[in-house]
A and B are shown apart, each in its own frame.
Chain A
Amino acid sequence: MALSPPVRRFKSRPVTFIFELPTDKLTEFWNGLEKGKVYASKCKKCGRLTFPPAADCSQCLNQGIDWVDIQGEGEIETFTHIVIRPTSFMNHPTYTVAVAKMNAGVKVLAWLTGAKLGDVKVGAKVKLAAVQSEDGPSYGFTLIG
């Protein structure tokens, strides 16, 4: 039987993508995080509350919003503990992501920190607050009680 020739493969020319994300229309939201606020947008015309915020209303297509701070209490609808992380999160320890329904009326997806894994449950009460992380302004949950 003839020996197979050695496998020959080559690497593509490298390319690194770093996208620059516009925030002009939501400047107030990102500034708000630095001032300790977590803003949802509220349509000036139909009153729909939207989170994550949007400058343009997907319900009535109106342009023009007010800002409503949605910090406060919410209830966990679902969650996961992420162990296998993307390359850009490898320097973080494993993390818990929760989706909570806020008393303000919108749902928020964010990290839940400072809890024992066994204490994180669907239906548990959480508090949402702006946080300053090493990656920039963000927001997150902590368990209440």
Chain B
Amino acid sequence: MKRVAIVGVGHSKFGDRRDVNLPELGFEAVKPAFEDANLTPKDVDFLSVGTAGGWYEEFLPAVVVSEYIGLSGTGLVRCEAACASGSAAVATAYNMIASGQSDVAMAVGIEKMTEVDTLTGVELIGRAGYYTWEFHNFGMTFPGYYALHATAHMKKFGTTEEQLARVAVKNHKYGAMNPNAHLQRAIQVDDVLSSRMVAWPLKLYDCCPMSDGAAALILASEEKAKSLTDSPVWIEAIGISSDTANVSKRAEYASLRSAVIASEKAFKKANVSPDQIDVADVHDCFTIAELLAYEDLGFCKRGEAGKMVEDGQTEIGGKIPVNVDGGLKAKGHPIGATGVSMMVGLTRQLRKQGGKTQAPIKNGLALAHNVGGTGHYCYVTVLRS
């Protein structure tokens, strides 16, 4: 397998982007990625587009995006792994280069979620489990699924609603400093606790917003990367796992098994341990999801995640800064864009282009933890500068 580097990154503004259509939104991420890499569309020989789709008008979104950014004719695939579709697109482009089939590949993550009304969105994403057995008769919702995990974690470890709220407060603090974030404002614990109930114990401010957005990465082989840049960021390892469609078939609810397996695979392949990671983006679609991630990734012991956020150990200056781009919670979660967006932010961190939210980089290691569905998919990607 050849080494693969990230040589260009681009990111659109996330948020309610009803001002642009799908390919126009993609363009906003792709153009800066080309500028960053000092490349043009003719240099790219493979494009993967990560998007879940279903809530916007285009049925073949990858083709529409590809035409609009001048890549018609190139190798093309659409990747779907629910909320981890972006990481799946990166993994696909990575594999094209690592296997020697491509020299320069692009991964675009994109989603438009605001072309349907919010409750239709709730309807569609509530089906992101097993429609027949969990939605048809029981109307599961996405917050409902993560609420099942929150209830179990609170019971097993004594995690509190205040500790969940602290995840939102931390991520909003950083989101307020990210010009591309959907929700650019700081909030307090009381704002979270007093927000309306969505699915007990999760309240509105425990949940990420429905966002539109796109992010793009340009990947290159080692030879090509060295001719393009003095500061490549290497994709060291990608660990991938999955779990049952029926949440009722899971062994337990205070952890996501797919995240445990994916991270073990990634750490083993990269030959690093969790305590060597300088900065991480984890999948905080709901506040409880970030706490599950700390434990599933081994950033703390089982049951200690609530205390970890309470003690500020995942802020800049703490043991391991997490979601310093605002996370899904404040930056927004256009679901197909998220995995790529994580790697855009982490690449900037490893290049020390993090600006006001730059984390200290000691070992040159960053980690993206991207969950699809309720642990239905998990992609853990380790980056090294």
Which residues of A approach B to under 8 Å, CB–CB? 7, 9, 12, 21, 51-52, 77-90, 92, 95, 97, 99, 107-111, 117, 122-123, 133, 135-136, 138
B137 with A85: CB separation less than 8 A: no
B18: chain A residues at CB < 8 Å are 9
A90: chain B residues at CB < 8 Å are 119
Q: Looking across the interface, which residue of chain A has its beta carbon closest to that of B21?
A: A9
Nearest first, the 3 A-B pairs at minimum CB distance are: A80-B147, A86-B123, A89-B139
Please name 22 pairs of A and B residues whose Cβ atoms are closer than 8 Å in the assembled complex, sorted by A.
A9-B18, A12-B57, A77-B253, A78-B253, A79-B148, A80-B144, A80-B199, A81-B197, A81-B200, A82-B139, A82-B199, A85-B141, A87-B123, A89-B139, A95-B139, A99-B247, A99-B248, A99-B253, A110-B137, A111-B137, A133-B137, A138-B137
A21: chain B residues at CB < 8 Å are 132, 136
Q: Which residue in A88, A109, A122 is a CB contact (below 8 Å) of B151?
A: A122
B247: chain A residues at CB < 8 Å are 99, 109
A97 with B137: CB separation less than 8 A: no
Q: Which residue in A77, A82, A109 is a CB contact (below 8 Å) of B152?
A: A77
Q: Which residue in B143, B151, B197 is a CB contact (below 8 Å) of A78?
A: B151
Q: Looking across the interface, which residue of chain B has its beta carbon closest to that of A89?
A: B139
A81 with B199: CB separation less than 8 A: yes
Is B134 part of the binding interface, using a Cβ–Cβ cutoff of 8 Å? Answer: yes
B122: chain A residues at CB < 8 Å are 84-87
A79 shortest CB reach to chain B, Å: 6
Using known A-B contacts A84-B143, A97-B144, A111-B138, determine if residue A78 contacts B152 with beta carbons closer than 8 Å: yes
B198 with A122: CB separation less than 8 A: no
Q: Which residue in A80, A89, A92, A135 is a CB contact (below 8 Å) of B200?
A: A80
Is B301 part of the binding interface, using a Cβ–Cβ cutoff of 8 Å? Answer: no
A83 with B200: CB separation less than 8 A: yes
In Å, the complex CA distance between A82 and B140 comes to 8
B246 with A85: CB separation less than 8 A: no
Q: Which residue in B138, B199, B249 is a CB contact (below 8 Å) of A84?
A: B199
Q: Looking across the interface, which residue of chain B has its beta carbon closest to that of A107?
A: B248
A81: chain B residues at CB < 8 Å are 197, 199-200
Using known A-B contacts A9-B18, A133-B137, determine if residue A87 contacts B248 with beta carbons closer than 8 Å: no
B137 with A99: CB separation less than 8 A: no
Using known A-B contacts A21-B132, A85-B122, A109-B248, determine if residue A80 contacts B139 with beta carbons closer than 8 Å: no
A52 with B133: CB separation less than 8 A: yes
Q: Which residue in B57, B133, B137 is a CB contact (below 8 Å) of A135?
A: B137
In Å, the complex CA distance between A45 and B250 comes to 23
Is B120 part of the binding interface, using a Cβ–Cβ cutoff of 8 Å? Answer: yes
Having A9-B18, A86-B135, A117-B200, one finds 19 other A-B pairs with CB under 8 Å, namely: A7-B19, A77-B253, A80-B148, A80-B201, A82-B141, A82-B199, A83-B200, A84-B198, A85-B141, A86-B141, A87-B122, A97-B139, A97-B144, A99-B247, A107-B248, A108-B248, A109-B134, A111-B137, A138-B137
A73 shortest CB reach to chain B, Å: 17
Q: Which residue in B120, B150, B249 is a CB contact (below 8 Å) of A107?
A: B249
B19: chain A residues at CB < 8 Å are 7
A38 shortest CB reach to chain B, Å: 12
Using known A-B contacts A84-B143, A97-B140, determine if residue A78 contacts B198 with beta carbons closer than 8 Å: no
B266 shortest CB reach to chain A, Å: 26
Which of B218-261 touch A at CB < 8 Å? 246-250, 253
Is B372 part of the binding interface, using a Cβ–Cβ cutoff of 8 Å? Answer: no
B137 with A79: CB separation less than 8 A: no
